[in-house]
């Protein structure tokens, strides 16, 4: 019974969490084989400029000069969104 109560409390605490990092976003996953990175954010407090700067720095540190966004999804945490971004090379003529 004690484990059930503790599990329920942990779930309740997670459900009430918001992204409290500066800029209203946090990097939550990476896939090096496809050069992608996932962010979770609160759409109401998101500093989009800060997110785009973080993405540009992330991709640049890995040798890429272009970022493409993949479709936004609802996060498993209520009220938050998550999105994958892919680092690529810009086509130069």
In this structure, how many other beta carbons lie within 10 angstroms of the beta carbon of residue 55?
19
Look at residues 26, 33, 43, 30 and name the one whose alpha carbon lies nearest to residue 78: 43
pLDDT tens by residue, 33-56: 999 999 999 999 999 999 999 999
Report residue 60 CA to chain centroid gap. Answer: 17
**Domains parsed from the chain with CATH numbers:** 19-88 (3.30.70)
State the chain's mean pLDDT as an integer.
83
Q: Rounded to two decimals, what is the model's pTM?
A: 0.73
44 or 1: which leads in pLDDT: 44
């Amino acid at each position: 019974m004690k484990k059930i109560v503790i599990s329920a409390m942990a779930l309740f605490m997670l459900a009430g969490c918001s992204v409290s990092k500066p800029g209203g976003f946090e990097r939550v996953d990476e896939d090096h084989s496809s050069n992608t990175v996932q962010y979770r954010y609160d759409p109401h407090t998101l500093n989009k400029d800060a997110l785009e700067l973080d993405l540009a720095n992330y991709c640049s540190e890995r040798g890429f000069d272009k970022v493409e966004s993949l479709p936004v999804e609802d996060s498993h945490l209520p009220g938050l969104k998550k999105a994958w971004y892919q680092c690529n090379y810009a086509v130069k003529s």
